[in-house]
Every structure is written in C-alpha cells, then in structure tokens.
Amino acid sequence: MKIAIIGAGAAGSICAIELKRRIPSAEVDVYEAGKRPLAKVAITGGGRCNLTNSFEGIRSLGEAYPRGEKLMKRLFRNFGHAETLRWFEDEGIRFVLQEDHCYFPASQDAMEIVNMLCLRMRQEGVRIHTGHKVSTIGREETQGYVLSFEDKPDAFADIAVVATGGCQSKSSQNMLEALGLEIVPPVPSLFSFNISDRELTALMGTVVEEASVTFAGTGFSGKGPLLITHWGLSGPAILKLSSHAARHLADKAWKGRLLVNWTGMNEQELRPMLGTLASAQSHKKISNTHPDTIPVRLWEHILRKAGAREDLRWNELGTKGLNRLVNTLLNDEYEVTGKSRFKEEFVTCGGIALQNLNPSTLETKTSPGLYFAGEVTDVDAITGGFNLQAAWTMGYTVARAIEAKAKAYSVLPG
Ligand SMILES: Cc1cc2nc3c(=O)[nH]c(=O)nc-3n(C[C@H](O)[C@H](O)[C@H](O)COP(=O)(O)OP(=O)(O)OC[C@H]3O[C@@H](n4cnc5c(N)ncnc54)[C@H](O)[C@@H]3O)c2cc1C
C-alpha cells in the first residue's frame, strides 16, 4: 500500500507516524513544499508551542471552534486533548498547564516538539521529501492518485492525505478546486483591529483584564482581557471576536462600529458599583477615584468621552452625567478601519467544506482513498492551543481510518 501525505505540518506528521506504526508494510511518503518539516509548528505560541488546552475555560466546543464544532465533538471521542497529551508524553514530552488552561511543553521550546516528530517519522521509516510542492492531485484508473510537481516527476499512491494547512494562497486553492470538491472561500481569522482614534491609541500598553467587545448590529462578541495597542485594540477579547466574526468582517472589508464594554459588567451590576464609589467618595474628584479594574489613564479617557470635566466631583455628577458615564463604560463606540495580523497566531477560516467528508474518517465522499486533515478543512478555532489540537486530532483520525480500510481490504491481518 502506497500512501502519500501532502504537507509535513502538525496534521501530516502525526498522521505519518501513526500510519507507519499501524501499517508497517505501507510505504508512507510525505511531500513538503518547504525546506523543513513542521516550520509553522516551530513558531507556534511565540516559539513555545501552545500544543493544546485543558478545555476547562470554555462552556461549549462552539466557543472554541466557530467552524467545525460538531465534527470536532465527534472526533474528540477518540482522540481529544487527554489522548493527545498522553501521545506526546509517551514520546517523552513533559507539559506545563498555565492558569489560562493552555498546555506548553515544559521546555517552553516548540523545537522540542518539531525535533521529536521529525525523529519519530525517520525512525518509523516515513520518507520525507522536502522542497517539493504538489501542484495537482489527480486520479487514474490503474495508478490511483497521481501527484504532480513543478520540479520532479509525478508520484503515485493508493491513498492520498491532504494536510496542506490554511489555503489562502491562490496555488493552494487551485490545487483543491481541481479536485472538484466544495471549498468554503478562505478568509483570515485571529487578527487585531485598527482604530484610528489618537486618544485611544495614546493609551497603548493599557490592559483591561475583563472587558467585552461587540460589533454593532451583529450578535458577534468577545469577552476577556483587552489590550490597547499603538494601532488599535488587541488581546483575547478582540481575537475571539475576530474569530467568531471572521466571515462577516471579511464581507465588510474589516470595517465597522465596535462597542467596548470596559467593565465586563452589565448595567444592573455597574450602577450599584458606581453608586457605592460615589457615596464613599462624594467630595472627591471623579478623576481621582477610578474603579479597580480600569487603569487611571483609561479612566480619564472614558471621563472625557462621557463629557465629565476633569475637576468634577462625584456629588456634582447628577443623573444625566451618571447616565453618560454608564453608557460610555458599557458601550464605548469606535470605528474599526481594518485589521492587523496578530503575530502570535493567525489561521484561515474556510477551506474544504465539511459536507465533502465522512465525519468519522475524513475521507472524501466522492473520491475513495482521498483524505483531508488539519487547517485545510473548514475547521478553525480561537487561540489557546485549539487549532493545533484540531490538527493532531484530524491527523490521528485519518491514520486510524486508513488502518481500518486496509484491514477491511485484507491488506493487514485481522
Ligand atoms: C505564528 C503562528 C502561531 C501559532 N501558534 C499556535 C499555537 O500556539 N497553538 C495553536 O493551537 N495553534 C497555533 N497556530 C495555528 C497552528 O499553527 C495551525 O492551525 C496548525 O499548524 C495547522 O496544522 P496543519 O497541519 O493543518 O497545517 P500546517 O502546520 O500549516 O502544515 C501544512 C504544511 O503543508 C505544506 N504545504 C502546503 N501546501 C503544500 C503543497 N502544495 N505541497 C506540499 N506541501 C504543502 C506547508 O508548507 C506546511 O508545512 C499558530 C499559527 C501561526 C501562524
């Protein structure tokens, strides 16, 4: 049995190792366009590799996977984060779990993961062909799958696994489109927002630990820490919003009205909190008594936007002034003018439509022996190790499914 894996990334590598362990007699060839396997994994998590998540910080999988929730739910039954950790631990990797539920290798070095996966591929007898970009995948009656390259003769395989990652380049899209499968148009996900409001960006470096952000007129929102940068807003709340609203924002050319709730509270919680502050500090200047969660320079900015004079005291605020302050704290409006790449992580929303695939095996419904794994599919997640987890799970799933297929065709004993 000849198996070709296209892409030596996270999904392709784990798939190759599992395949050789499950079907030792199979010839497994991995074709990688780049000079080295796993180049992207090497830069994940700022070079530390946020390999997975404990999933304790989310209430439902849909929170983490805006696309692919149902599929991942099904696949995690066989290979979820616990199985992934065990898989890597069996290969000698030790982990640390951070307070934010993210798992990193204890070495804090993504290269430990990369080196281990490369070594295991070699030890298991996987043939890795780097610097060879697959330009088309075809199918022939007798030869099975035919992979063509720009720089070398065609390669043939009984089974082909496409694990080429996010398909934003035109050449990737052409290769996939030629397969005749439905492709959800790829758009970027996980980015920060450009906001050309000098008063806001002057506060760069300011962090609010619990904020929420919403796109006006949509149901899309994100909660969590918010960071003011020199170009606008970033941090987990913005990244979550960018992920959940990825397609909507692409349609709007990444422009729109953003509403910021700087408090993480609702009006019913905020008013009594401000009431307590006002009565305890009634003769003091409002600008000198900011809520604990709002840094002083941001508080001054909010007061300016709410129209409160610098020397105004709490007992001079009045009902109208209080209403303006509440409204600014809960619905502070900014014009988003574009997006910026979040350097720590960015992924593609879109790819091979999930209805093309058998949800248990990730084999295409129309081309037997053709499988997809990882970000090339229409599955992507928020930050926190969820994207790599999807890649590990899908790569593992495909290997398991190919083994079952091989057994069914009596290539393997049992
Ligand atoms: C800067 C950055 C940091 C990130 N950090 C994290 C993190 O800490 N945690 C997390 O969960 N996720 C993170 N991600 C996302 C995560 O890296 C990806 O979701 C994940 O690597 C996807 O795995 P994959 O195997 O599908 O694709 P990839 O790992 O991207 O691998 C695909 C491979 O296929 C190759 N390829 C593509 N086309 C062809 C072709 N035609 N022929 C041959 N080879 C081809 C590519 O060169 C590549 O090596 C990060 C992403 C970025 C950009």
Short-list 172, 165, 170, 189, CA closest to 341: 189
What pLDDT does 169 receive?
85
Same domain for 293 and 250: yes
Check whether residue 14 and residue 93 sit in a common domain.
yes
Question: Has residue 310 been placed in a domain?
Answer: yes
Determine the pLDDT at residue 344. Answer: 77
Beta-carbon contacts of residue 170 (< 8 Å; ≥ 6 apart): none
Q: How far is the CA of 41 from the centre of ligand 1 (A)?
A: 6
Is residue 261 in some structural domain?
Answer: yes
8 with 115, same domain: the answer is yes
Q: How far is the CA of 22 from the centre of ligand 1 (A)?
A: 24
pLDDT of amino acid 414: 53
Asked whether residue 414 is domain-assigned, the answer is no
pLDDT at 410: 67
Distance CA 335, CA 330 (A): 16
Which residue among 345, 376, 383 is best mutated to probe the pocket of ligand 1, counting the most ligand atoms within 8 A of its Cβ?
345
Which structure tokens are listed for 194?
């450009």
Res 64: pLDDT: 98
Residues 349 and 314 in one domain: no
In the chain, the amino acid numbered 150 is E
CATH number at residue 80: 3.50.50.60
Ligand 1 site, residue 387, Cβ cutoff 6 A: yes
Separation of 295 CA from ligand 1 center, angstroms?
37
Let me know whether 26 and 165 are in one domain: yes
Domain boundary among the residues 341, 356, 382 is at 341
Q: Of all atoms in ligand 1, which is nearest to the CA of residue 52?
A: 11
For residues 24 and 114, membership in a common domain is answered with yes
Residue 208: beta bridge partners? 226
Please check whether residue 239 lies inside any domain of the structure.
yes
pLDDT 10s digit of each residue in the chain, 414 long?
A: 999 999 999 999 999 999 999 999 999 999 999 999 999 999 999 999 999 999 999 999 999 999 999 999 999 999 999 999 999 999 999 999 999 999 999 999 999 999 999 999 999 999 999 999 999 999 988 889 999 998 899 999 999 999 999 988 888 888 999 999 999 999 999 999 999 899 999 999 999 999 999 999 999 999 999 999 999 999 999 999 999 999 999 999 999 999 999 999 999 999 999 999 889 888 999 999 888 899 999 999 999 999 999 899 999 999 999 999 999 999 999 999 999 987 778 899 999 999 999 999 999 999 999 999 999 999 999 999 999 999 999 999 999 999 999 988 765 565
Whether 258 and 350 map to the same domain: the answer is: no
pLDDT at 289 (0 to 100): 87
Q: What is the pLDDT of residue 261?
A: 98
pLDDT at 411: 58
Residues 381 and 252 in one domain: no
- CA–centroid distance for 94 within its chain: 23
Domain that residue 171 falls in: 2-187+344-408
HEC states along the chain? CEEEEECCCHHHHHHHHHHHHHCCCCEEEEEECCCCCCHHHHCHHHHCCCCEECCCCCCCHHHHCCECHHHHHHHHCCCCHHHHHHHHHHCCCCEEECCCCEEEECCCCHHHHHHHHHHHHHHHCCEEEECCCEEEEEEECCCEEEEEECCCCCEEECEEEECCCCCCCHHHHHHHHCCCCCEEEEEEECEEEEECCHHHHCCCCCEEEEEEEEECCCCCEEEEEEEECCCEEECHHHHHHHHHCHHHHHHCCCCEEEEEECCCCCHHHHHHHHHHHHHHCCCCEHHHCCCCCCCHHHHHHHHHHCCCCCCCEHHHCHHHHHHHHHHHHHCEEEEEEEEEECCCCCEEEEEECHHHECCCCCEECCCCCEEECCCCECCECCCCCHHHHHHHHHHHHHHHHHHHHHHHCCCCCC
Q: Does 239 contact ligand 1 (Cβ within 6 A)?
A: no
Domain count, the chain: 2
| 38 and 62 belong to one structural domain | yes
Q: Is residue 270 part of a domain?
A: yes
Domain boundary among 310, 341, 372: 341
Domain boundary among the residues 324, 341, 358 is at: 341
Whether residues 108 and 235 share a domain: the answer is: no
Are 171 and 226 found together in one domain? no
Q: Is the CB of 9 under 6 A from ligand 1?
A: yes
Whether residue 393 sits in one domain with residue 298 = no
